[in-house]
Structure 1
Amino acid sequence: MHIAVCDDNVADRKQLERLLKRESDKRAASTGIIYTDSFGNSTALLSNPMQYDAFYIDMCLTEGTTGTDVVNALTAQGVNAPIILCCSKINYREQTYPANVIFLDKPIKVAELAQSIDHALEIMAKAVPLIELREDEDTIYVTEPDILYAEAEGRNVIVTLKDGRTVKVATTAINLFSQIENHPTFFAPTVRAILNGRYMEKLGFRKVIMCDGKKFPLHRDCVAYAKQLLAEYHA
């Protein structure tokens, strides 16, 4: 478990680091080691937040920035990992947050910290897995239902999303499929395309017609699986 601590109170931040280290020692044989990175401001944290499994946040000393601002920034980047807001000068419970946000009072008690980790693990277990799509200058995180289909174009793969956006990924269709094949809705009708079976409209002779009218060739070895998906989502 990889945790990020973002707290502009140095003493509180160091104490939480120590408590998380002790909690890690206790859990090493069960839930595993807890790795912690600490930040005194949100700038560094927000540069690469997707690497973390959970966040402990309290910003109450920095002018113009609170824990709420950090939560909003993380959410805008697509983070759905558990976020624990530590209540001190600011009572975050009085505000409204996404379902992945939970609360912990300061000064932090060992038992309550342990409960927050257990709660975070429950949220992680229920979270929808994210798929990473890397463009030249940006990385986009989407879920399986967000992807309509993908097709090779030169040295790239153009991923078309359900909302109509396209993402140019510098990879091959085969490599992208190896990244997402754990989602059973995806299948490759040829070596140059990946389709999301939930969005197939119908099957023709050796072809697939998607819900937006786009047509793809269908290799004979994929016909049976395509029929299975079509029956599942268009029964």
Structure 2
Amino acid sequence: MKVIIIDDEKRSRRVLRSILEEACDGINSILEASNLIDGVELIKDNNPNIVFLDVEMPKHSGLEILDFFKDKTINFQIIFTTAYEQYAVEAFKLSAIDYVLKPIDEKELVKAFEKAKQVINDNQIKSKLENLEKALHQLSLNKIALEVPKGIIFVSHEDIMYFEADGVYTKVHLENGKTELICRTLKHFTEQLQNQPIFYKPHRSYLINLKFMKELVKKDGFHIVMNNLSTIPIARDRKDEFIQMVNRVFN
């Protein structure tokens, strides 16, 4: 964890550094600056986790720090150090994680540090979860999650031959010959895959992958024969629509 101390008083910087080194775990780097301008440069060059920032300094007050980051994201925690309690309200307006009054009390400083550390850890966890969610969302564009008794299996859309309604369950017939019984209705999968044009519902009890059609036969109505020789009926109200579609595409 990187820490930067920005304070015009050398003694204050020394006290802060001493407490941080002796009482605060997880710090591997402590840098110092004696004014806000130099401190901002240190922040931009070193990407710290926590910045201890004095309020009363020559030329630029610590409260002006956000003026130097107008086009950048503040991804570090700010802990203000000040001899004047009236600055506390202004500090929190700037989204500071905490403030510590001078002369520095070790317990108060450690408390503020631990508070900042917890926020950093929480943000890191949140970031990891968001990245995981993005990865899973990308996966969902090409695969479907099937909840089976032993857990969840992730199957490519390309490997699903067809879905078959079985009461409140659905049988998922896979290209490899396996069939998975899923505790979901066919409606669930129909809605989930409605934006996948490769899937078509010729009958209220079936949702098929058009890739695996082998033959269209007329026998007691129209039926689709799949690659595994399963016969899927075409509902009367879907027959004309389906035949027209086939004729437009293949003729």
TM-score if structure 1 supplies the norm length?
0.50
Structure with more of its chain in helix, by fraction: 2
* Structure of higher CA gyration radius: 2
TM-score if structure 2 supplies the norm length?
0.47
